[in-house]
Chain A
Amino acid sequence: MSNDIPNTESTAAGALVNPPDNKFTRWFSNILGDLGKNGIFIALIAVVVFFTITTDGILLRPQNISNLIVQNGYILVLAIGMVMVIIAGHIDLSVGSVAAFIGALSGVFAVQWGLPWWLAIVLSLLIGAVVGAWQGFWVAFVGIPAFIVTLAGMLIFRGLALVVLGNANIGSFPEEYRALGNGFLTGVFGEGTPDIFTLLVGAAAIVLLVLNQVRSRAARVKYGQEVDPIVWFIVKLLLVSAAIVFFMFSLAMYKGIPVTLIILAVLVLFYGTIMNRSVFGRHIYAIGGNRHAAELSGIKTRRVDFLLFVNMGFLAALAGLIFTARLNLAGPKAGDGFELEAISAAFIGGAAVQGGVGTIGGAIIGGLIIGVLNNGMSIMGIGIEWQQAVKGLVLLLAVAFDVYNKRRSGNS
């Protein structure tokens, strides 16, 4: 290779890593950079602090913390599937209706037909995946925009839910089924408050987190990649660990670990791995970033699109089950507006309308922000009408902030 061209690499790298080089500025720019990257995280903390003050601390009481998870679990489940769909450059407006439809079907299976609870759940999830396959077929293989397909799906499955319910509510569900939305894992190592099992799970989570972070940091160092300064790394780990301790202790003081939380944890770990590390996840980002380039790189874009909708159908069904279990009732209004909350969660969490950008973690935090807003405003006694308006405004500001941030970094 010709070496006539001066190698500007090292100087360029230097300029990027350290501007005026002294310890303080380096620290400062590191923290600032992290804040920029984790703006959404800061926003969650701000919202929590705000409502802790305005509700005189009720927000952070053990029972309320437990409620926060249980009440928002189904939105978070939907947000996981939704952010993946959005990253690929699509949208799904039908998830609320699909959740209602599957909830109603599960009522038929578990209550009217009296099938075993586990069979009812498995059947419901399978049908959810089939519903997703139906929508995926139109999007991926016929080429109809997802907006249209899922708008139709929103009407179709809301209608079908009403057909299945036949103008009545279905309840009450077997206890094991209800555990999806109302159950707690507690007292595994004996009764007591705080619950020992919950605390042990919390401790295990911290140990795993620290091990994982240390290992990935070591690997990055080994491959010569840039890492945070060690002090900042430790501070961040301590902060996150403190949050986990507080959270798990709160749960232990109430009823223990909600089953919904366990489902969520499994989903986040699984889908997080899919999006971060799997070939399939890479394909999703590649398609969202530049569909043509992905196609010309041999990625089977139609197949990926199809599977994404199958997955969304599956998760919508799961959300429907959790919601139905929580109410112990399958009703016609179930799932109303879920799609909008899930889409908001994804966008507040940093997903881009054009696709190609977004994370599972972001969507979860986005969903939590909406959840805390709902919960906090309810405790304050603010009416549902104002809650709507405030949530709308938060969505707009969050995306506007994101756009502004990107434009700024694009210009520099």
Chain B
Amino acid sequence: MADNILEMRSITKTFPGVKALSGVTLEVERGEIHAICGENGAGKSTLMKVLSGVYPHGSYDGTIVFEGEEVAFRSLSDSEAKGIVIIHQELALSPHLSIAENIFLNNEQRGALGLIDWNRTNFQAAELLARVGLRDNPTTPIKQIGVGKQQLVEIAKALSKEVKLLILDEPTAALNDEDSDHLLGLILQLKEQGITSIIISHKLNEIKKISDTVTVIRDGKTIETIARDDVTEDRIIKDMVGRDLEHRYPDHDPQIGEELLRVEDWTAYHPQDPSRVVVDNVSLNVRAGEIVGIAGLMGAGRTEFAMSLFGHSYGSKISGKVYMRGREIKTRTVAEAIENGLAYATEDRKTYGLNLIEDIKRNISMASLGKLERLGLVNDNKEYAVANEYRRDLNIKAPNVLVKTGKLSGGNQQKVVLSKWIYSDPEVLILDEPTRGIDVGAKYEIYTIINKLAAAGKGIIVISSELPELLGISDRVYAISEGRITGELPVEEATPESVLKLMTMEKAR
């Protein structure tokens, strides 16, 4: 029998209304690199949170056996004490502290009187940095080193805790090619030192390169575990997407008209790091009545494209041309973008979309107060009537439009956001993750609304991480990877496999 360092047996985790994991089983052999693959929302992160104690023992069903004994972690520090360290996609480093201080955060090297022994701290930090191949001075503030090096500091931090099982969540998502290669090399080195790693990644070629075993998770279930010799990209993709795609999307009979929006050579750089290109020469178009999908992984530049287009709300050094009905338009401010017929419904409605302490009515009118205004004064009663109309049309479930949007469910909040943008009467609506975090019934309603808008002659761009959804509702699909459009397919020719291949296509090295 194999020597398993970790066995997770029939793990089931439910959130109110959602079964995030149902009977997931994961076996990790000592000393291997084990990859976990799955679409966004498949349950990978939830599984890792169960493992690391973020979701404490008792909040899930199933057993976890680590190093031959059953464990019941109640917190992150419990699992760290046993040698399990998780490095999240968003790094947990404090930007103004030094490398050494970050490595020993909450594990300070104390000397006499319980005061911090800085010499020992910095000396040990330097040793750890050498192990991960970093030559920076341990007293350098974290914010002064790049993301790639920060990732290595995280690993050094893990090593300082005598890690036995290292979990990396999308470690290379934010790294450039060189840094990625270095990181992957380091993981292989650690393997030789006897450290077991679990790596969560979307990048299939990376997985193929370094992992010994691959487990695919879909819809909260383990699909299969594949040994190294049997791993092929096609097999992983098939496991990741293979599900019933029928009857989850309302029928849509496209009546496609003239071209509305055309974007040419749209380029934007990272707002803080103007040398990093985030949106790279994107060109696309949308016609009246057409639903165009943009498929891409998180961090591929989808949202960044949309937000930089919509009033330059993201990025620096933005360039490119935009045409509406063949006439060139500028979108330098949000007001200008709205005036020129664009609308953008954000992927993060709580942070960017809604004023949660304000009522439905005022949220719906927020982007179009000009329509309700006379001599600078808002017509309250008309506003109420308008909001009520949308409440009925879009079936927003609330007793009246004076309910604060913070009290609504995700689906109803999304309908308020849609109402707001529909009322602004745009030519083209960009919907970023329109069904994120909402239940299946509400999703169907949102799809129906999208279809109605298309039928009314609007151009729709849908950005979604869920491939089945994208293929289910779009007429045409663009794939985006690393900021570039890597392909364009009419929906009839698009299969999940073909689109995923385009989404994961990397720049020629």
Contact = CB atoms under 8 A, between A and B. Distances in A.
Interface of A: 1-2, 4-5, 7-9, 12-13, 16-17, 219-220, 222-226, 273, 277-280, 282-283, 285-286, 289-290, 292-300, 356-357
Interface stretch (B136-144, B286-294, B371-379, B461-469): B371-379
Given A1-B449, A293-B351, A298-B367, 12 more contacts: A4-B441, A13-B399, A16-B399, A222-B381, A223-B385, A224-B388, A279-B378, A290-B356, A294-B355, A297-B367, A299-B335, A356-B357
B502 interface: no
Contacts of A292: 351-352
B399 A12 contact: yes
Interface string B371-395: 0010011101100110010000111
Contacts of B388: 224
Interface in B305-361: 310-311, 313, 333-335, 337-338, 344, 346, 351-358
Nearest to B379: A277
Contact of B354 (A13, A219, A293): A293
A9 B367 CA distance: 26
Given A286-B355, A286-B366, A293-B355, A5 B384 contact: no
B10 interface: no
A9 B441 CA distance: 16
A283 B368 CA distance: 11
B346 A296 contact: yes
Given A279-B373, A300-B335, A219 B366 contact: no
A4 B351 CA distance: 31
Interface string B437-460: 000010011001100100000000
10 tightest A-B CB contacts, nearest first: A289-B355, A13-B399, A297-B367, A298-B335, A298-B334, A290-B355, A297-B366, A298-B338, A292-B352, A279-B369
Contacts of A357: 357
Given A13-B400, A298-B334, A278 B355 contact: no
Contacts of B351: 290, 292-293
Contacts of A280: 376
A1 B445 contact: yes
A243 B465 CA distance: 61
Contact of B397 (A12, A219, A222, A289): A12
A296 B355 contact: no
A279 B393 CA distance: 26
A220 B355 CA distance: 24
A220 B399 CA distance: 16
9 contacts: A1-B449, A17-B399, A219-B381, A223-B381, A273-B377, A286-B362, A289-B358, A295-B313, A295-B334
Contacts of B185: none
Given A223-B384, A298-B367, A9 B358 contact: no
Given A9-B397, A225-B384, A226-B400, A279 B376 contact: yes
Contacts of A273: 377
B393 A1 contact: yes
B395 A1 contact: yes
Nearest to B411: A5
A8 B412 CA distance: 13
Contacts of B448: 1-2
Given A2-B448, A290-B354, A296 B334 contact: yes
Contacts of B366: 282, 286, 293-294, 297, 299
Among A1, A226, A294, A300, residue most surrounded by chain B Cβ atoms (within 10 Å): A1
A370 B369 CA distance: 37
A9 B344 CA distance: 29
A285 B358 contact: yes
Interface residues of B, number: 49
Contact of A300 (B310, B333, B370): B333
A225 B380 CA distance: 11
Contacts of B444: 2, 4
B202 interface: no
Interface of B: 250, 310-311, 313, 333-335, 337-338, 344, 346, 351-358, 362, 365-367, 369-370, 373, 376-378, 380-381, 384-385, 388, 393-395, 397-400, 402, 420, 441, 444-445, 448-449, 452
B373 to A, nearest CB: 5
Contacts of A2: 250, 444-445, 448
B378 A282 contact: yes
Contacts of B357: 289, 356-357
A356 B358 contact: yes
A296 B313 contact: yes
Contacts of A277: 377-378, 380
Among B377, B393, B402, residue most surrounded by chain A Cβ atoms (within 10 Å): B377
B356 A289 contact: yes
A411 to B, nearest CB: 11
Contacts of A283: 369
A297 B397 contact: no
A290 B356 CA distance: 8
A286 to B, nearest CB: 6
Among B310, B352, B373, residue most surrounded by chain A Cβ atoms (within 10 Å): B352
Contact of B377 (A222, A278, A356): A278
Nearest to A285: B358
A282 B395 contact: no
Contacts of B373: 279
A296 B344 contact: yes
Nearest to B452: A1
Among B337, B376, B420, residue most surrounded by chain A Cβ atoms (within 10 Å): B376
B405 to A, nearest CB: 10
B364 to A, nearest CB: 11
Contacts of A299: 334-335, 366
Given A292-B351, A300-B335, A285 B362 contact: yes
Contacts of B397: 8-9, 12
Nearest to B377: A277
Nearest to A357: B357
Among A8, A282, A286, A297, residue most surrounded by chain B Cβ atoms (within 10 Å): A297
Contacts of A219: 381
A226 B449 CA distance: 29
B265 to A, nearest CB: 24
Given A1-B445, A295-B313, A295-B334, A356 B355 contact: yes
Contacts of A4: 441, 444
A296 B352 CA distance: 7
Nearest to B345: A296
A32 B311 CA distance: 46
Nearest to B363: A293
Contacts of A356: 355, 357-358
A299 B370 CA distance: 11
Contacts of A7: 395
Nearest to B339: A298
Nearest to A224: B388
Contact of A298 (B311, B356, B385): B311
B375 to A, nearest CB: 9
Contacts of A295: 313, 334
Contact of A278 (B344, B352, B376): B376
Contacts of B395: 1, 5, 7
Contacts of B365: 282
Nearest to B380: A277
Contacts of A226: 400
